[in-house]
Amino acid sequence: MQEVNKEFTPKLIEELKALLVERMVDNMSTKDLVTYVTDDLNKYYEGVFDQDFLDDALNYWDDGFDDILEEVEEYV
């Protein structure tokens, strides 16, 4: 590993992180981005209380929530 002889201020680290994230995202394919976001959201919702998840779902689907619920119940 290459050694860096530089003092890293919190601001410099913050900017380096932002640039690294930007460059990594820029270099991802659409398929990679979809996979990443899907995995991230699945992990997020695994740790959320059921009521909080249902609140998010209700807000997302709004008036269509009952239709979505019916659709899911058909194959569960």
| HEC letters along the chain | CCCCCCCCCHHHHHHHHHHHHHHHHHCCCHHHHHHHHHHHHHHHHHCCCHHHHHHHHHHHHHHHHHHHHHHHHHHC
Domain parsing of the chain, residue ranges: 29-75
List pLDDT tens digits, range 6-49. Answer: 889 999 999 999 999 999 999 999 999 999 999 999 999 999 99
Q: What is the pTM of this model?
A: 0.71
Residue 62 region, left (φ>0) first, then alpha (ψ -120 to 50), else beta? left
pLDDT at 52: 97
